[in-house]
Chain A
Amino acid sequence: MTTTTLTAARAGLVSCGTCGLLAQQVSRAAPGHCPRCGARLASRRRGSLETTWALVIAAAICYIPANLLPVLGTTTLGSTAYDTIMGGVVFLYTSGSWPLALIVLIASVMVPLGKLLALVYLLITVQRGSIAGNRERTRLYHLVEFIGRWSMLDVFVDTFTVALVQLSPLMSVQPGAGVVFFAAVVVLTMIAAASFDPRLIWDADTTTEPDVA
Chain B
Amino acid sequence: MTGSVPTGPSGIDNWPESTGNTETLACPDCDLLQVVPELPPGAKAGCARCGRTLVTQMADPIERPLALSIAALLVLILANTAPLMGLSVVGQQADTTIVGGSWEMWRQGQELTAVVVAFCAVFAPAAYLLCTLAVLLAARRPPAPRWVGELLRWAEAMQPWSMVEVMMLGILVALIKIAELATVEPDVGMYAVGVLMLLIPAIQSSFDPEAIWQRVTWADDGSLPADGAVQAVGTPDPRSAP
Q: Which chain A residues have a beta carbon within 8 Å of chain B's beta carbons?
A: 3-9, 11-13, 15, 18-26, 31-39, 41, 91-92, 95, 97, 100, 103-104, 134-135, 138, 145, 148-150, 152-157, 159-167, 170-171, 174-175, 179-180, 183, 187, 190, 194, 198-199, 201-203, 208, 210-213
16 contacts between A and B (CB under 8 A): A4-B10, A24-B233, A34-B219, A37-B216, A149-B160, A152-B170, A156-B163, A156-B167, A160-B96, A160-B175, A161-B177, A163-B103, A165-B94, A179-B113, A180-B110, A210-B7
Contact B230 A25 (CB under 8 A): yes
- Cα(A32)–Cα(B227), bound, Å: 11
Which residues of chain B are within 8 angstroms of A37 by Cβ–Cβ distance? Answer: 149, 153, 213, 216, 219
**B51 is an interface residue with CB less than 8 A from chain A:** yes
Q: Which 9 A-B pairs have the closest CB atoms?
A: A156-B170, A38-B219, A8-B26, A15-B26, A163-B101, A35-B220, A160-B174, A7-B31, A202-B30
Binary A-proximity of B82-124 (CB < 8 A = 1, otherwise 0): 0011010110101110001111110011101110110011000
Which residues of chain A are within 8 angstroms of B116 by Cβ–Cβ distance? Answer: 155, 183, 187
- Cα(A163)–Cα(B201), bound, Å: 28
- Size of B's binding interface in residues, CB under 8 A: 85
Q: A36-B213, A194-B160 are in contact. Are A175 and B105 (CB under 8 A)?
A: yes
The answer, among B84, B108, B149, for a CB contact under 8 Å with A160, is B84
- Cα(A210)–Cα(B47), bound, Å: 9
Which residues of chain A are within 8 angstroms of B153 by Cβ–Cβ distance? Answer: 18, 37, 39
Which residues of chain B are within 8 angstroms of A202 by Cβ–Cβ distance? Answer: 29-32, 49-50
Contact A32 B230 (CB under 8 A): yes
Contact A170 B92 (CB under 8 A): yes
- Cα(A118)–Cα(B65), bound, Å: 34
Minimum Cβ distance to chain B for residue A19 (Å)? 5
Contact A159 B170 (CB under 8 A): yes
- Cα(A12)–Cα(B29), bound, Å: 17
Minimum Cβ distance to chain B for residue A47 (Å)? 18
- What residue of chain A has the Cβ atom nearest to residue B168's Cβ? A156
Which residues of chain A are within 8 angstroms of B219 by Cβ–Cβ distance? Answer: 33-38
- Per the 8 Å Cβ criterion, residues 3-31 of B in contact with A are 4, 6-12, 24-26, 28-31
The answer, among A21, A32, A175, for a CB contact under 8 Å with B108, is A175
